[in-house]
Structure 1
Amino acid sequence: MSSQVVSQTSYEIPKTQRAVTFAETHGPHTIQTDWPVTQPSELKPGEVLVRVVYSGVCHTDLHAWLGDWPLENKLPLVGGHEGSGYVAFIGPPLEGAEPCTLKVGDAVGIKWLADSCLHCEECGKGFESSCGQAKNSGFSVDGSFQQWAVSWGAHLTPIPAGFPLANAAPILCAGVTVYKALKEAAILKGEVVVIPGAGGGLGHLAVQYAKAMGYRVIAIDSGAEKEKLLASYGVTDFIDYQKGDVVEAVQKLTDGAGAHAAVVVASGSQAYEQALQYLRPHGALVCVGMPPNADIRANVFWTVVKSHRIIGSYVGNRQDAIEALELAAAGKVHTTFTIEPLANLPSVFERMHALTLNGRIVLDLQ
């Protein structure tokens, strides 16, 4: 393995690099050793070259490889959108835009949202991910499963000083996604939020952000290891979905009243069906996990009578990412992760698909 990558005021940029790519949906992954590096002279206005040090692996990366979504990604593709590293070179400024405030050597994060126009109504309201010109890392543009990645200065997220890059990586998608979803639930301190999929990559962060925001957490997952992991975060209400009726268990834990919100990060559609049954009146179902070919079936009468809110929550905006990182850097949220080499990515996908991963996997790209 190469020497530790550190912040520098200048970088010697190679012609080639290590990367993991695939050329067809559900096709073989190729461990590249001579993948081309975009050279400084090739950077377009607004683009920044980042020396990626670590990259988290998200379930979205697996969905892209499997072709689960009704959207087409670029091929061949370098996946990944939880990249943490350092600014290595800054391209020319965009015409009419403010100069880039980043400096070479700054610690930054590459997120799912790689770029947006920042001028349309959606961007103006803070919904940059819904911009008609949005680009997505590791989907429509190459992402962070490579040592040198091109991103866009306006959307790179500064990483707080002293916060380890490996710890920051999972926050850049998993963390900001669940943080935004909890904000969308719009519940009050002390109220009950149920988190199906609580022991996974998104879920183990969601329970911590929920507790940091003052909510009472009921965690749903399966297995003694995940129960133990969640207990280490102070979660006392755990439901094993393989050992009984989930709806009945939530009702029992809430004295029959039901939950104020459910933030579903599970990858199975049954979690959505159950949530609509255990929500109390005026409860919110916040949809985050995206099982392939899944639908939400809500009875119109009871949705109206109970005034349920069904909310789709995409990734957070630029400010959400800053806030999510600040909470983690302050020690209020701790990522449980294992560092593995970049070449292990195919194995990581196999374990993720089998639902055997606890916490998050972070790839070392040094």
Structure 2
Amino acid sequence: MVQRTFLMFEAAVLTKFKKIKISKFVAPTNLREDQVLVKISYAGICGSQIMEYLGHRGKDNFLPHAFGHEASGKVIRIGKKVKKVSINDEVILSWIKGKGLDYGGFKLTDDKNCKINFGPISTFSSMAIVSENRVFLKPKKMSKIEAVLYGCATPTGAGIVIKQLNEIKSKHKVCLIGVGGVGLAALLALKLKKPQIYIFEKNKKKNKFLSKFNVNFIPSNKIILYKDYFDFCIETSGSSEMIERAFNLIKKKGKLIFASHPNNKKKIKLNPHDLISGKKIFGSWGGSCKLDYDINKIFNYFNKKNVFSLHGKISIFKLKEINKAFKKVMSGEINRALIKF
């Protein structure tokens, strides 16, 4: 008989909007047949978790629950029907669904005897129990820190450019609104296509960092002058107002793609005449990427350079500092926040 060691782990639990606590759990000795147990190395905080934290996604029927949707780590256990990864594999975890099994969420009881909800992926934890379809092999030459971005920001941003706007040429004018993780990945992909790039970003610290990319900046008081000017616009700011503004910036046959998730209560208003005149607007779901194939494709597209090193200063936090990390990201004080385990 195979004996299983009891493994304890800590996880961040969203107990209510704007409140996170750290709870302790025992990892199941017998995983569900679709599950993978991963020892987390790094997990990232992105805009989607900020919206979840603030309650801007609407009513949350699963509180209290673990959360987080991008990470890197090593496989330490697998369910009996898991085939795509093996024990000791270095992996990337993502909210984007890939190949493999997924039987949905589950519950665990913490050390205070409280039942906590877990989805198919929850990464703000020292160990994560995830469904097989959220686990992807990490390229050997990719660092564990860089790998976190391939769980969300890099495939979304780069995928918009490579897969959804692959018609972009050097003759085109492209506007990028909002340059967080997704926006910067889009910028890096655009630089390789060499169109005329314009950036609208309100954060002055980010603009100082972005100046080294040799792009054009649009001041807030000048943006109205660019109406119907761009062939393509990529919007990642998370603002309904900015989606509307981005739509006004594209030409009559231009194309807008937005990859942001505004407050659930906010709606967008568009001029119907712009639509019948040929303007197009699309949303992006993970850059239309299939991570089982596209992680390596994008990694090679960036010529195997360390994309994360271009994201400016990286701020590393311990799990117990996660509330502090969220506040610093929301204030715009830091560019990127990672939780290290």
The interval holding the TM-score normalised by the smaller chain is 0.7 to 0.9
Give the drift of 1:61. Answer: 0.8
Give the drift of 1:245. Answer: 2.5
Give per-residue Cα distances to partners, 1:102-146, cap 9 Å, x unaligned: 22111111111357888xxxxxxxxxxxx9x8779x984451100
Partner of 2:222: 245
- Alignment partner of 2:91 out of 89, 96, 108: 108
Matches of 2:281 and 2:119 in 1, distance apart?
28
- Alignment partner of 2:269 out of 297, 300, 325: 297
1:361 paired with 2:337, answer: yes
1:172 paired with 2:147, answer: no
- Alignment partner of 1:230 out of 192, 196, 210: 210
| Secondary structure of 2:239's aligned partner | coil
1:39 paired with 2:28, answer: yes
Give per-residue Cα distances to partners, 1:302-328, cap 9 Å, x unaligned: 2212x1111011123323444334445
1:194 paired with 2:175, answer: yes
Matches of 1:313 and 1:14 in 2, distance apart?
41
Q: 1:53 to 1:187 in 2, by over 3 A?
A: same
Partner of 2:70: 82
Give the drift of 1:40. Answer: 3.7
Give the drift of 1:86. Answer: 0.7
Count of residues in correspondence between the two structures: 319
Give the drift of 1:14. Answer: 4.6
- Alignment partner of 1:260 out of 215, 225, 231: 231
Give the drift of 1:197. Answer: 0.8
- Alignment partner of 1:17 out of 9, 31, 36: 9
Partner of 1:324: 298
Matches of 1:269 and 1:116 in 2, distance apart?
33
Partner of 2:57: 69
Contact 1:13/1:39 (<8 A) preserved: no
Q: Which runs of 5+ in 1 are unaligned?
A: 1-11, 94-98, 119-130, 252-256
Give the drift of 1:84. Answer: 0.3
Q: Which runs of 5+ in 2 are unaligned?
A: 107-116
Q: 1:135 to 1:281 in 2, by over 3 A?
A: farther
Contact 1:111/1:173 (<8 A) preserved: yes
Matches of 1:117 and 1:240 in 2, distance apart?
46
| Paired AA for residue 305 in structure 2 | G
| Paired AA for residue 90 in structure 1 | I
Q: Alignment identity in percent?
A: 21
Q: TM-score, normalised by structure 2?
A: 0.84
- Alignment partner of 2:329 out of 332, 340, 352: 352
Matches of 1:143 and 1:104 in 2, distance apart?
19
Contact 1:83/1:172 (<8 A) preserved: yes
Give per-residue Cα distances to partners, 1:223-263, cap 9 Å, x unaligned: 4421221123x23212243xx13131x46xxxxx7111111
Matches of 1:40 and 1:114 in 2, distance apart?
25
Partner of 2:131: 152
| Secondary structure of 2:50's aligned partner | helix
Give the drift of 1:170. Answer: 2.0
Q: 1:114 to 1:78 in 2, by over 3 A?
A: farther
Give per-residue Cα distances to partners, 1:337-362, cap 9 Å, x unaligned: 3222222211122123233332x211
Q: TM-score, normalised by structure 1?
A: 0.78
Q: 1:194 to 1:76 in 2, by over 3 A?
A: same
- Alignment partner of 1:271 out of 242, 247, 258: 242
1:210 paired with 2:195, answer: no
| Secondary structure of 1:194's aligned partner | strand
Matches of 1:176 and 1:135 in 2, distance apart?
24
Contact 1:115/1:155 (<8 A) preserved: yes
